[in-house]
Amino acid sequence: MLDIKNLHVALEEEDKQILKGVDLSVESGAVHAIMGPNGSGKSTLSYVLSGRDGYEVTEGSVTLEGADVLELEPEERAAAGLFLAFQYPVEIPGVGNMTFLRTALNAQKKARGEDEVSAADFLKLIRAKAKELQIDADMLKRPVNVGFSGGEKKRNEILQMAVLEPKMCILDETDSGLDVDAMKLVSNGVNALRDAGRAFLVITHYQRLLDHIRPDVVHIMADGRIVKSGGPELALEVEKNGYHDILAEVA
């Protein structure tokens, strides 16, 4: 599904290399997790994948189902099936949550040459999805993320994912700020989407999320590289001992 090869990324503004040769392949149907110390480059990777400005790819490639991702505008990547649940979802005053989601869904459909969803069908769809995530009608009507609590913002990201049904879902610390019950809701939301034709890349600091969303592979990122990959037991090791031993071992 997603193939990242030798990806080197520097900041455009200052001469600073953040990603220093990331290699990662996520196959269709799989869930991969990325863990790693603060500042190791996890969010940067997710932003570069979704096409945010400010980064320069100095080397390497990224493909989604064989197609070059780095060539595409952010909206084209979204239409191609890439989705990033932001670590810090953005507040957009004046744009209603529902209007936003419907505009986004129909824009993607249009880009893919599919029929747009009618207002009535959309309402049905979003109500059903919102109910599963226990997002109330009031939150749907409010401006995007404005005045949402930290946890509500994260649930709103998952709602967007559930409605847009992307192929490649990247979740950047979606668990941070969630209470125990919300974590279950969000995990159920993610698990409900698990499918042979879809893949997940879950960035997290905590083993707890991975109890709910069982990963197939766990990667450790440090200083802009994937330094170790393994099974779910790798997350348990991090939880128990921190990164010290792993980093010492690969140094």
**Residues forming the site for ligand ATP (CB under 6 A):** 11, 18, 36, 38-44, 54, 87
Q: Give the three-state DSSP class for 151.
A: helix
Q: Could you tell me how far CA 165 lies from the centroid of its own chain?
A: 12
Residues numbered 178 to 237 that lie near other proteins (CB under 8 A) are none
Minimal CA–CA distance to 95: which of 84, 83, 104, 107?
Answer: 104
Is the CB of 44 or the CB of 187 nearer to ligand ATP?
A: 44
Stretch that binds other proteins, among 6-14, 83-91, 118-126, 175-183 (CB under 8 A): 83-91
Residues numbered 18 to 57 that lie near Mg ion (CB under 5 A) are 42-43
The option from ligand ATP, Mg ion, other proteins, none interacting with 111 (CB < 5 to 8 A, set by class) reads: other proteins
Tokens of 52: 């945010």
- Look at the chain and count its residues: 251
Site string for other proteins, 117-156 (x = CB under 8 A): --------------------------xx------------
Among 44, 108, 204, 207, binds other proteins (CB under 8 A): 108
Minimum distance between the CB of residue 145 and other proteins, rounded to whole angstroms? 9
The H or E element spanning position 99 is helix 97-111
- Residues in CB range of 165: below 8 A, 6 or more apart: 193
Q: Give the three-state DSSP class for 5.
A: strand
